[in-house]
Copies of this chain bind each other. A is one copy, B any other.
Amino acid sequence: MTATRIDPGIHSAITAGNQRLLDRLAKRDFGGMAECYTTDGQVLPAGHDAVTGKDAIAEFWRGAAGLGITRADLTTVEVMPGGEIACEVGRYRLFAGDQQADHGKYIVIWKEEGGEWKLHRDMFTSSVPQAS
């Protein structure tokens, strides 16, 4: 990854949005996780079609937790603000109990909705080599 480039204005809103998402994952509050996304928000995961809208996003995260993911850790590497949206690039780690289950990188396009910055497009890729 390149050096961290953070715009301080938008950064605190994104940090708060990420923390809200992580807190709700730890509590297995999948509906609450979906509320962190915009109304027409999308998760764009590997091995799966685009997941669109809050109900589908709640089910997606319920499924991920069902695979044993109990906690995640997000590190913002850079934020590129752009008017109505902001692009965040970061690194993630997923944990199953005390074990690190996966690590990788993500791009989130954030969008303000109802006075709050929410995840609008969310894509992540594991950095762990795939079994061949």
Give the interface of A toward B (CB within 8 A): 1-2, 40, 42, 44-50, 52, 80-87, 89, 104-107, 109, 121, 123-130
**Are the CB atoms of B85 and A87 closer together than 8 Å?**
yes
B-side contacts of A81, CB under 8 Å: 82-83
B-side contacts of A45, CB under 8 Å: 125
**Are the CB atoms of B89 and A80 closer together than 8 Å?**
no
Q: How distant is the Cα of A37 from the Cα of B40 in the complex, in angstroms? A: 30
B-side contacts of A80, CB under 8 Å: 82, 84-85, 109
Extra inter-chain contacts (18) besides given A82-B83, A87-B109, A123-B125, CB under 8 Å: A44-B89, A46-B104, A46-B125, A46-B126, A47-B128, A47-B130, A48-B127, A48-B129, A49-B127, A80-B82, A80-B84, A80-B109, A83-B83, A89-B109, A107-B107, A107-B121, A107-B123, A124-B125
